[in-house]
Amino acid sequence: MSPSHRWLSSIEETLVSFTSPHGKSYRFNPPPNWPAPPLGWTPPPGWQPDPSWPPAPACWQLWTEEPPAGRFRRLTAAMARHKVVTGAVALAALGLIVYAVGFGATSSGTPTSAPSTPSGAGSTSSSPPRKPVFPPQTLDDFRAFAATGDASQVTEIDSSSEGLPSCPVRTFYVAVSSGLTPKEVEAGLSAFAVQQGLLDKHCGGFVYAFRSAADYQAHFNDGYTVGRVSMDTDGGGSPRGDLEVDAGDQTSGSIQATFKFTFYYAF
């Protein structure tokens, strides 16, 4: 396929979101345990995930509704990736953008002017990455904090599942590398919990950390010796949950760091 044809194909896929300024558009939402796709990429018809990828978490929504502003940014990003555009395609795409975001003619037929830049707005079109807030107070804060952790420092030893088959409560027993600070332990365990999809379920889940597999065998019935992630919910039908992350030795009562907050799922 020639470069121009590939460009037209990507623009056609992006313009699917612009069929009507009053209609709904959906954005591809890959699971957290899949490789991250390129910015603005949308699966073409007939696309299937790589068989080597892990299965998506239960109840994961591969498509989420996207507001008009998100559609505008995706189209702009798709056009910016290609430097050579024919005049006809560029004009048609521009006209469609103007119509979709409501900058077209008024009902009386008089053109409206483009809105001015809001006071204090920056010159760049993209928002800066979300800065981690510590201690986290929301699920978004928690995800940002988890992104600072290193899940490779956490090794799964054992796991179990309890509750209803439709909404199991998963528990992971892990070993954490030595030499980490309490905050690094919290961040690493948080990263592991996100990687395992505990945030994507409304059923709750737990991660108990030990120094080693032998330490786990010795203290399995006494409590964790390095840290814990506890996501306690009222079950799949309730939007409320409590998330707590600890670093320390529960068996000796030496908890070095902890944070917790209450959150609500958006159904």
Domain boundaries, the chain: 3-100, 139-264
pLDDT tens readout for residues 161-213 = 988 888 888 999 999 999 999 999 999 999 999 999 988 877 889 999 999 99
pLDDT, the chain, mean = 75
Mean pLDDT of 235-249: 82
Q: What is the structure's pLDDT at 123?
A: 43
Q: Are 264 and 247 in contact (CB under 8 A)?
A: no
- List own/partner pairs for 52-58 with CB under 8 A and 24 or more apart: 56/31, 57/31, 57/32, 57/33, 57/197, 57/200, 57/201, 58/201
Q: At what angle do helices 87-100 and 68-80 cross, to 10 degrees?
A: 160
Residue 236 pLDDT > 60:
no
- The confidence score (pLDDT) of residue 168 equals 87
**85-137 confidence digits (pLDDT tens):** 445 555 665 666 656 555 444 444 544 444 444 444 444 445 566 677 889 99
